Structure 1
Amino acid sequence: MTDRQEPKAQVDAAHFFAADIRVGLVLSVDSFPEARKPAYKLRVDFGPLVGELATSAQVANYPAGELAGRLVVGVVNLGKKRIAGFTSECLLLGSYDTEGVVQLLSPAPESSPGDVVG
């Protein structure tokens, strides 16, 4: 996937606004050798109303130490998904660069875990 991907079909705005997108703080980063593609297991704090959620993210292009303590943007209401025996509870958002590598979206530095993105 690259930035040259064709636009997707139009959707009703209600579909977008149904997604609960929030700022999170990466608390921990663990290796995930069972995943088919290089990935980490992350624990992310989405603030007091959502709490901590686990996710698997194909962001092995980032050193683990660079991810821990980083603010990220994630969707927290997509339900749970099993990935190689691991339960992922949220989806971190990023863009694909021209090489197809994920570049995580970053909120403003003054954002706090749990802030709503909209």
Structure 2
Amino acid sequence: MDQISWNDFEKVQLRVGTIVKVEDFPEARKPAYKVWVDLGEDIGIKKSSAQITHHYSKETLHNKQVVCVVNFPEKQIGPLLSQILITGFADENGDILLAVPDQQVPNGAKLH
């Protein structure tokens, strides 16, 4: 495993946000949702594609807080311009479980 410096870690902006909107993403190559996340007043609402359909329905995602990388360059995913990366962990089958705080925190809070 490559080691990184503290300065390398500080470059990655991991912030918490609340999912405010979820739509199906039928144009995606793998099953996915279009997801909008409120990352607080300073960052605003950003959108992303998330391959999380196995463990989550659209209804269970609404108002869920998630950890996002907010300083990657935007990426075109089919017709969607993804602005953030919603983080998660693969289970034993490769299906993603979201990385979430265990208590409510303010939108935009930075992971330390």
Shorter-normalised TM range? over 0.9
**Could you tell me how far 1:10 is from its partner in structure 2?**
2.2
SS at match of 1:117: coil
SS at match of 2:104: coil
Structure 2 letter corresponding to 1:106: V
| 1:63 paired to 2:57 | yes
Taking the TM superposition and a 5 Å limit, the aligned residue runs for 1:7-18 are 8-18=1-11
In structure 2, distance between residues paired with 1:48 and 1:24: 11
**Could you tell me how far 1:15 is from its partner in structure 2?**
2.0
Aligned residues: 111
Give the aligned CA root-mean-square deviation in angstroms: 1.0
SS at match of 2:63: coil
In structure 1, distance between residues paired with 2:98 and 2:104: 17
SS at match of 1:79: coil
Could you state the TM-score of these two structures normalised by the residue count of structure 1? 0.89
Once the two structures are aligned, what percentage of the paired residues are identical?
Answer: 36
**Could you tell me how far 1:9 is from its partner in structure 2?**
2.3
Runs of 4+ aligned residues of structure 1 deviating over 6 Å after TM superposition are none
**Could you tell me how far 1:98 is from its partner in structure 2?**
1.1
